[in-house]
A and B are shown apart, each in its own frame.
Chain A
Amino acid sequence: MEIELRGITKRFGEVVANSDVNLTIRAGEVLGLLGENGAGKSTLMNVLSGLYRPDGGEILIDGKPVQFRGPGDAIRAGIGMVHQHFMLVPVFTVAENVVLGVEPTGPVDFLDLKKARAQVREINETYGLEVDPDEYIENLPVGVQQRVEIIKVLFRSANAIIFDEPTAVLTPQEVTEFFAIVKSLRSAGKAIVFITHKLHEILEVADRISVLREGRIVGEGVPGKTTDLELAEMMVGRPVSFKVDKTPFSPGPVLLDVQHLTVLRENDAVAVNDLTLNVRAGEIVGIAGVQGNGQSELVEALAGVRRVAGGSVMFQGKDITGASARDRHRLGMAHIPEDRQRTGIIAAFTVAENMVLDTYYDSRFSRGLAMDWQAVNQNSAAAAAAFDVRTPSIFEKAGHLSGGNQQKLVVARELNRDTKLLIASQPTRGLDVGSIEYIHKRIVDAREEGDGILIVSSELDEIMSLCDRILVMFKGRIVAEFGAAGRPANKNDIGLAMAGVAA
């Protein structure tokens, strides 16, 4: 099977999402589609999977032109897509979800779940998916839900499978497992399209790479021949540097001193267990770990938005264990929360309003109860310009910005004041190369100014390139320390510590 896209153009009003795109997808091959957020990757694949009709160009399957009037046509032609947001019914079982819409029926037209279960098991075995057909979706981790989506596509006998940013929601372990699945699909002769904006992933799993920028194919690459720097440059349109330039490590006094901290989850399970750490002025401390080992709860407790169950937190020698989030802000602590959509910004508020979300009460922005919007707007425009927040105006709704610009907005808000300690949770998750580079630079700038910085990230590369000291968190505890006083940082050792293997 060979699928060819010829001269595909797709417009949304004035936005040209795809412009004259040519692409070939072959059986037994993984095509990596690389591009920043908004480059037009999803649009292109939605055209291929019959969700959108192109404004120009044609699709050929094995040399024959085809017309898709809807996703149904594409599925019948053997093209299946796994969307970034899963389309599963949480209260149905795996088997029920898989057959939804194409239910096999018995002789008297009743739902033949037995047959469905058997088919799911068969697919499981063929591709090493290991999914229990009788488990309910809501009880499954995200990585397994994704496999259910894959089973759905295979169940509809797809020969070509499109994955739209499949790794965005996965933990590092799940990513590894996912790649194994992709490889087994490839050996089974499926044609695969793998969409991402993460360079190392595409270099690991793709056979060929096409780079999309502003709706156009701007270059091609082959893993092993093309370097990540070359790909990044194609993607962003200018030379990119991955190296973070830092002055030599010379930390000052201890800013944040956490002793025997215990924090509980909503269900009273222990999330952070008797944890001790400190952050000094002028150093970047990174917390590595597989998600769900208590990092989120630790950060929330330090930021004052989650109750502490035991232990103490000192900031510049002052006990802040029970201090409110507002008190901590006032003392010079800044917090970049992990979920920018939910807790970092307010989508319906303007950029200017978001820029003062936690400083509006400050004498710079209000007098008594009266807001000084003039001052807010001036300050927001200056901050947006200084932090490269790309928006038509500061009166634009923050929800209309791309993820990268939303995150830069949060960074601008938190760093554009006199801070002493920055706590950042997943500061670059889901962002494109250009934004990541920029945010890293601002974090390093804060360090050079003598701020202490605590970063939690599930991206090991990020932690390794940014941090002076790396702590590994496992089951609510710090289980290893690397860099500075500890052992030199080494990806393999850190990975083992993250997996809870005592070193």
Chain B
Amino acid sequence: MSEQGETATLTARLLERAAPKRADFEDLVIVPVFAVVVALILGGVAMLATNVDLETIGRSYVALAYGSIGSINALSETITAATPLILAGLGVALGFRAGLFNIGAEGQILMGGMAAVVVGFSFTGLPMLVHLPLALLAGIVAGALYAAIAGWIRAATGAHEVILTIMLNMISYRLVDYMLRMPAIQRPGRSDPISSSVLPTAELPRLLEWLGPNLRLHSGVFLMLAAVLFVYWLLFRSTIGFEFRASGESPEAARFAGMRSGLIIVLVMALGGAFAGLAGANQVLGVLGRASSGFSAGIGFDALAVALLGRSHPFGVVIAGLLFGALEAGGRQMQVDAGVSIDLIGIIQSLIILFIAAPLVVRALFPWGFRKGAPASKE
């Protein structure tokens, strides 16, 4: 064979992709599945330990399943709960990918939601086609700007983004309470911190009202799906995503390759904040119809867990968000049917995260799920 022919064969061989490794499968599928199973079992043990009898425990898990996937209404609730978790989770995942620990989703949701509400009730007489996008955009921009503050301070001074975003969360709580008492925002005739209602032209339309008046599923789910695809494209198909991932894996190598780290930090934070802001807008325009004190309801913190559980991959975030949404929806049913506190759901969620973060524990508990002698997850 000629030398050129040889090079061509070698080039072709180099382009072949190796089959997915068993270890990847173990990491991406088996560990999370077992983590969920163990968490549910331990949840049962926790109930036993607090003197709940076996029958009630059985009943609560049936309710959990029924309330999350057992009916159209259950599915609607699950997806409605999952949508903001996934949106904010995408924002957090973007940060993780770029090596930034953005704890500030909660505050960004609040700021995004507030902006969306204000736009949502202030402009009368606008057609929906203008009003709704405007309100959503307000949420996105507010979330992005709020997060960009942390990004900018981090890039300019090197102050750690964890501290910065925690502080911004604190500020946002008070800021929202303050704004909700401003005459322009507070609902007329009320003395508690609550805003005027979003006008119908700015509401995210319900999707299943023709099936039943209680089905809360709204068109925010399409925004969420679009966001997932967008983040996938951004991370893995765009030059910006390449820069994000490079800075996340090795800021020094990225700098040596001519990437501008300061700009990237601000951009990542702003984009992450945009998704959290959209999550906030989604809540006020699709579910709540108004803003009240603490309307973010911890979604921004659950989003951290969702991003972690989803391995900071947009598709993983969808699965994790749906799981958390299901636990939330099912948990409410559980409380109603079996009288078990919804705090149990929090315990189960925490256990799942714990086992994901400590795959060695899962391996030790289920040795038969893993190839024998395989080294424990490296690095």
Q: What is A's interface to B at a CB cutoff of 8 Å?
A: 303-305, 324-326, 328-329, 335, 337, 342-349, 353, 357-358, 360-361, 366, 369-371, 373, 377-378, 380-382, 384-386, 391-396
Q: State A349–B238 Cα separation when bound (angstroms).
A: 15
B258 touches A326 (CB 8 A): yes
Query: Can you list 28 residue pairs at the A/B interface with Cβ under 8 Å?
Result: A325-B256, A325-B257, A325-B258, A328-B258, A342-B252, A343-B250, A343-B253, A344-B253, A346-B250, A346-B253, A348-B250, A357-B246, A357-B253, A357-B254, A366-B239, A371-B242, A378-B11, A378-B15, A380-B14, A381-B11, A382-B7, A384-B11, A385-B7, A385-B14, A393-B14, A393-B17, A394-B14, A396-B18
Instruction: Determine whether the beta carbon of A342 is less than 8 Å from that of B253.
Output: yes
Query: Do A393 and B237 touch across chains, with their CB atoms under 8 A apart?
Result: no
Alpha-carbon separation in the docked complex, A169 to B14 (Å): 34
Measured CB to CB, the closest approach of chain A to B291, in angstroms, equals 34
List of A residues within 8 angstroms of B16 by Cβ: 393
With A385-B14, A386-B7, A393-B14 known as contacts, the answer to whether A369 contacts B256 (CB < 8 A) is: no
Contact A335 B256 (CB under 8 A): yes
In the complex, A305→B251 CA distance in Å?
12
| Bound complex: CA A304 to CA B258 (Å) | 8
The answer to whether B246 touches A346, judged by C-beta atoms less than 8 angstroms apart, is yes
Q: Which residues of A contact B15 (CB under 8 A)?
A: 377-378, 381, 393-394
List 15 additional A-B contacts (Cβ < 8 Å) besides A328-B258, A343-B250: A305-B256, A324-B260, A325-B256, A326-B260, A347-B250, A348-B249, A353-B242, A361-B239, A366-B239, A371-B238, A373-B237, A381-B14, A392-B18, A393-B18, A394-B15
Bound CA–CA A346/B257 (angstroms): 10
Which residues from chain B contact A377 at a C-beta distance below 8 Å?
A: 15
The reply to whether the CB of B240 lies closer than 8 angstroms to some CB of chain A is yes
The listed residue with most A CB atoms (<10 A of its CB), out of B237, B238, B250, B253, is: B253
Complex Cα spacing A485 to B10, Å: 45
Instruction: Write the chain A residue with the least CB distance to B9.
Output: A385
Min CB distance, B85 to chain A, in Å?
Answer: 27
Q: A349-B246, A349-B249, A386-B7 are in contact. Are A395 and B17 (CB under 8 A)?
A: yes
How far is it, in angstroms, between the C-alpha of A66 and the C-alpha of B12 when the chains are bound? 51
Query: Contact at A325–B255, with CB atoms within 8 Å?
Result: yes
A353-B242 Cα distance, complex, nearest whole Å = 9
Residues of B within 8 A of A (CB): 7, 10-18, 237-240, 242, 245-246, 249-250, 252-260
The interface residues of chain B lying within 8 Å CB-to-CB of A385 are: 7, 10-11, 14
Q: How far is the CA of A361 from the CA of B255 in the complex (A)?
A: 14
Q: Which 3 A-B pairs have the closest CB atoms?
A: A326-B258, A358-B257, A325-B258
B contact residues around A343 at 8 Å (CB): 250, 252-253, 255-256
- A394 vs B13: C-alpha distance when bound (angstroms): 9
Q: Of A337, A380, A393, which one neighbours B256 at CB under 8 angstroms?
A: A337
Measured CB to CB, the nearest residue on chain B to A378 is B15
- Of the residues A326, A369, A380, A381, contact of B238 by C-beta under 8 Å: A369
Distance between B246 CB and nearest chain A CB, rounded to angstroms: 6
Across the interface, A395 reaches (CB within 8 A) one of B7, B18, B238, B256, namely B18
B258 engages A358 (CB within 8 Å)? yes
Most chain A Cβ neighbours within 10 Å, of B17, B245, B246: B246
Say yes or no: B239 contacts A357, CB within 8 Å: no
B255 lies within 8 A of A305 (CB): yes
Chain A residues whose CB sits within 8 angstroms of the CB of B10 once the complex forms: 385
Q: Give B194 Cβ to nearest chain A Cβ, in Å.
A: 42
Closest chain B CB from A321 CB (angstroms): 17
Tell me, in angstroms, the Cα distance from A392 to B14 when the chains sit together.
6
Chain B residues with CB below 8 A from A396, complex form: 18
Report A-chain residues with C-beta under 8 Å of the C-beta of B246. Answer: 346, 349, 357
Nearest neighbor of B247 in chain A, beta-carbon distance: A346
Q: Is the CB of A391 within 8 A of B255?
A: no
Minimum CB–CB distance from B235 to chain A (whole Å) comes to 11
Per the bound structure, the CA–CA distance linking A147 and B16 in Å amounts to 48
Q: Check A391/B14 contact, CB under 8 A, given A325-B255, A337-B256, A357-B253.
A: yes
Cα A358 to Cα B239 with chains together (Å): 11
Contact B256 A303, beta carbon cutoff 8 Å: yes
On chain A, the residues within 8 Å of B17 by CB distance are 393, 395
Which has the most chain B C-beta neighbours within 10 Å: A344, A346, A370, A393?
A: A346
- Minimal Cβ-Cβ distance residue in A for B18: A393
A394 to B15, alpha carbons, bound, how many Å? 6
Q: Quick one: which of A326, A345, A393 contacts B253, CB cutoff 8 A?
A: A345
**Which chain B residues border A384 with CB–CB below 8 Å?**
11, 14
Chain A residues within an 8 Å CB radius of B253: 342-346, 357
Q: How far is the CB of B3 from chain A (nearest CB, A)?
A: 11
Contact status B258-A369, CB under 8 Å:
no
When chains A and B are docked, how far (Å) is the Cα of A76 from the Cα of B316?
52
**List of A residues within 8 angstroms of B250 by Cβ:** 342-343, 346-348
A337 to chain B: which residues have CB within 8 Å?
A: 256
The smallest beta-carbon distance between B263 and chain A, in angstroms, is: 11
A111–B237 alpha-carbon span in the complex (Å):
60
Q: Are B14 and A329 in contact (CB under 8 A)?
A: no
A326 contact set on B, CB distance < 8 A = 258-260
Interface pair A382/B238, CB less than 8 Å apart: no
In the bound complex, residues from chain A placing their C-beta under 8 Å from that of B245 are 349
State in angstroms the CA–CA spacing of A369 and B238 once bound together.
5
Shortest CB distance A275–B (Å): 21
A358 to B12, CA, bound (A): 24
Q: Cβ of A381: which chain B residues have Cβ within 8 Å of it?
A: 11-12, 14-15
User: Separation in Å of the B73 CB from the closest CB of chain A?
Assistant: 41
Using CB atoms, name the residue of chain B closest to A328: B258
**Once the chains are docked, how many angstroms separate the CA of A380 from the CA of B260?**
24
Task: Contact check, B14 vs A360: say whether CB atoms are below 8 A apart.
Answer: no
Contact of B258 among A324, A348, A370 (CB under 8 A): A324
Cα separation A101 to B14 with both chains bound (whole Å): 49
Min C-beta distance of A501 to chain B, whole Å: 35
A392, B257: Cα distance in complex, Å: 25
Residues of A within 8 A of B259 (CB): 326
Q: Which residues of A contact B256 (CB under 8 A)?
A: 303, 305, 325, 335, 337, 343-344, 358
Q: Which residues of A contact B252 (CB under 8 A)?
A: 342-343
Distance between B11 CB and nearest chain A CB, rounded to angstroms:
4
Is the Cβ of B14 less than 8 Å from the Cβ of A371?
no
Expressed in whole angstroms, the minimum distance between the Cβ of A392 and any Cβ of chain B is: 7
- Interface core residue of B16, B238, B257, B259 (most chain A CB under 10 Å): B257
Docked-complex contact B238 and A329, CB < 8 angstroms: no
List residues of chain A with CB within 8 A of the CB of B258. 304, 324-326, 328-329, 358
Q: Determine the chain B residues whose CB is within 8 A of the CB of A371 once the complex forms.
A: 237-239, 242
- In the assembled complex, the CB of B210 is this many whole angstroms from the nearest CB of chain A, namely 40
* Closest chain A residue, CB of each to CB of B374: A13
- Distance in angstroms between the alpha carbons of A384 and B258 in the assembled complex: 22
CA distance A370 to B246 in the complex (A): 16
Nearest to A342 among chain B residues (CB) is B252
Report which of A305, A328, A346, A373 forms a contact with B249, defined as CB distance below 8 A. Answer: A346
